[in-house]
């Protein structure tokens, strides 16, 4: 409660722990009650709110979950009277969010359960504890601001900055950024063309934390609550309206005479690398590629990541057999694991995409952004572990993004596996392609949320760049995505088959994000920083530091 002191200063004293234990929990007193939580109840609520936040991610898209989770988190942070407490609160919240959002990563250990299965629970814990450090950092930054509306506004700014940090720190992992949740509707994704993933996350943060900004003195009166909820809904409605207009202005058009066949063999990861089955897998790819076309004969056949393993690629007849599926004047784009002898005599493997015409191999792309622990082991001389993919030798990284221009196929930008999640690494020094191709193998993660999240990341890259995205996955999801993010057709997860379709044309002009890249982060931060400045000024003017603050000037 406020205690008026000398020099026109109001000092706010937080109620002692356990005060009014019998008091009813009401919507109006919820901010104060959450701030005063302590002990195991505080820990449990923080972890639970983190779990709730993960419900906004693909494939669920429960947008109200962001409002519940982030507003509750902001109110609990009002009770963090020390920086250590804020850090720990953020870590618990992040552990909950990471547990539900990234659990599928550990599924890769179950593919070879005899070797790695025992590590599964430890990997789950490491994923949750490690990725939980990023929300902890956001909470630590937010604690700098006074409790109440300023702290909620500071949390918006901090969370967005931490998402950017996660996109490049330790080789980067910009997966499950909050803005991905706007993939619920095509229209809601459209701001990504102007501000990339950052503007989408800024929209979600603002919409989710508006009720927290409306709380006053540790309470949320009904009128203020209704205003906060109405503003949240209005913000999402405005974004939808603007996005709908952009969709109407960009109808899908197609490249003349360019029909692609996407081959999804749906080979279980546990069987994929068995030497006794590799010829059978290759025969499946050939058969699917030669199956009767649904309409127009496809000009280009596309196989997923690592469709041709190294052992099979060493046989001279493999590429000869592969060329038999290529239509006259067409191409085969195939994922393959290739290797060559290094200067020291050891084999150096690459995760590659091969481009073949009827005469043989004409171009190669080597994946440049490798997966830590999956394709190479960081600090290999220190860590006594092997990578998850077969073979003891680390993969070699390629030189970077390229544009492949072969035959009659419009020039494209190849992306292997999770290279598609890095918004700033899509276009390289060779310039802008006509479309993007992502080949991948999500079979490592089974029937989990991971493949859905991966597909939506590819969809977001299409909107950001204004380029069509074609995605071919071993077990799914494969599909055609137009330059504004509309999924034109797709093959579901866990399905074997082919998908024929025409190639969409790019937008006539590059998007703002395509021109400016991650500099748009600063544009996205401006409104959040303005809100933070406004709340700080209002806090000084009215002397409302909110529950958990030390002092407030009247």
| Residues that are catalytic | 305, 367, 417
Tokens for 356, please give them. 């073949």
Burial of 40 (0-12, 13-18, 19+ CB in 10 A): exposed
Give the dihedral of Cα atoms 41, 46, 50, 53; nearest 10 deg: 100
Q: Are 49 and 93 in contact (CB under 8 A)?
A: yes
**Phi, psi values for residue 499, rounded to 5°:** -135, 115
- Which alpha helices (DSSP H) does 250-315 contain, by range? 269-272, 278-289, 310-313
Q: Which residues contact 207 (CB under 8 A, 6 or more apart)?
A: 63, 66, 67, 232, 235, 236
Give the whole-angstrom CA distance, residue 536 versus residue 412: 49
Question: What's the CA gap between 53 and 239, in Å, rounded?
Answer: 21
Cα–Cα distances in Å, from 52 out to 31, 100, 114, 124, 192? 18, 9, 34, 18, 25
For the residues of 139-174, what is the DSSP string, one character each? HHHHTTSPTTHHHHHHHHHHHHHHHHHHTTGGG---
Question: d(Cα 444, Cα 421) in Å, to the nearest integer?
Answer: 17
Separation of CA 328 from chain center: 39
CA distances from 176 to 139, 241, 331, 425, 522 (A): 18, 25, 34, 17, 20
Give SS3 for 68.
helix
In this structure, what token pair is assigned to residue 275? 């030497």
Output the CA angle 542-546-550, nearest 5 degrees.
95
CB distance 390 to 485 below 8 Å: no
ω into 122 cis (within 30 of 0): no
Q: Which residue has tokens 């006259």?
A: 328
């Amino acid at each position: 409660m406020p205690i008026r002191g000398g020099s026109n200063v109001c000092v706010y004293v937080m109620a002692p722990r356990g005060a009014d234990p019998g008091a009813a929990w009401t919507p109006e007193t919820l901010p104060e009650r959450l701030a005063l939580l302590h002990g195991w109840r505080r820990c449990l609520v923080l972890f639970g709110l983190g779990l709730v936040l993960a419900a906004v991610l693909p494939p669920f898209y429960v947008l109200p979950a962001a409002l519940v989770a982030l507003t509750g988190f902001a109110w609990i942070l009002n009770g963090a009277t020390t920086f250590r407490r804020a850090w720990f609160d953020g870590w618990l919240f992040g552990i909950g969010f990471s547990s539900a959002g990234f659990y599928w990563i550990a599924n890769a250990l179950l593919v070879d359960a005899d070797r790695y299965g025992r590590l599964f629970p430890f990997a789950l814990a490491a994923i949750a504890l490690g990725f939980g450090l990023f929300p902890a950092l956001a909470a630590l930054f937010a604690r700098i601001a006074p409790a109440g509306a300023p702290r909620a506004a500071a949390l918006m700014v901090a969370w967005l900055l931490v998402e950017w940090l996660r996109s490049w720190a330790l080789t980067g992992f910009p997966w499950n950024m909050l803005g991905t949740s706007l993939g619920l509707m095509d229209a809601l994704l459209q701001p990504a063309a102007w501000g990339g993933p950052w503007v989408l996350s800024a929209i979600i943060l603002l919409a989710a934390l508006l009720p927290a900004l409306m709380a006053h003195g540790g309470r949320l009166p009904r009128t203020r609550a209704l205003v906060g909820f109405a503003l949240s809904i209005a913000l999402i409605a405005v974004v939808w309206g603007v996005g709908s207009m952009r969709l109407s202005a960009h109808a899908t058009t197609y490249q003349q005479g360019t029909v692609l066949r996407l081959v999804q063999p749906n080979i279980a990861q546990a069987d994929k690398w068995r030497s006794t089955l590799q010829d059978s897998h290759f025969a499946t790819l050939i058969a699917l590629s030669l199956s009767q076309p649904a309409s127009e004969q496809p000009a280009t056949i596309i196989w997923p990541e690592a469709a041709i393993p190294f052992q099979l690629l060493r046989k001279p007849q493999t590429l000869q057999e592969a060329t038999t599926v290529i239509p006259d004047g067409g191409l085969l784009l195939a994922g393959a694991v290739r290797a060559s002898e290094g200067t020291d005599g050891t084999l150096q493997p690459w995760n590659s995409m091969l481009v073949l015409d009827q005469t043989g191999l004409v171009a190669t792309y080597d994946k440049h952004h490798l997966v830590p622990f999956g394709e190479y082991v960081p600090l290999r001389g220190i860590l006594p572990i092997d990578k998850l993919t077969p073979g003891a030798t680390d993969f070699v990284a390629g030189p970077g993004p390229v544009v492949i221009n072969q035959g009659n196929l419009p020039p494209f930008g190849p992306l292997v596996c999770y290279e598609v999640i890095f918004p700033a690494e899509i276009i390289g020094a060779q310039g802008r392609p006509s479309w993007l191709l992502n080949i991948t193998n999500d079979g490592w993660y089974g029937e989990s949320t991971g493949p859905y999240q991966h597909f939506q990341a590819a969809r977001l890259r299409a909107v950001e760049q204004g380029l069509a995205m074609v995605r071919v996955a071993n077990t799914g999801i494969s599909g055609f995505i137009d330059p504004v993010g509309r999924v034109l057709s797709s093959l579901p997860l866990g399905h074997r088959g082919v998908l024929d379709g025409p190639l969409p044309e790019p937008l006539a002009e590059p998007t703002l994000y395509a021109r400016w890249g991650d500099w748009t982060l600063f544009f996205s931060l401006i409104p959040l920083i303005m809100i933070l400045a406004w709340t700080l000024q209002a806090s000084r003017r009215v002397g409302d530091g909110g529950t958990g603050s030390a002092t407030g000037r009247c």
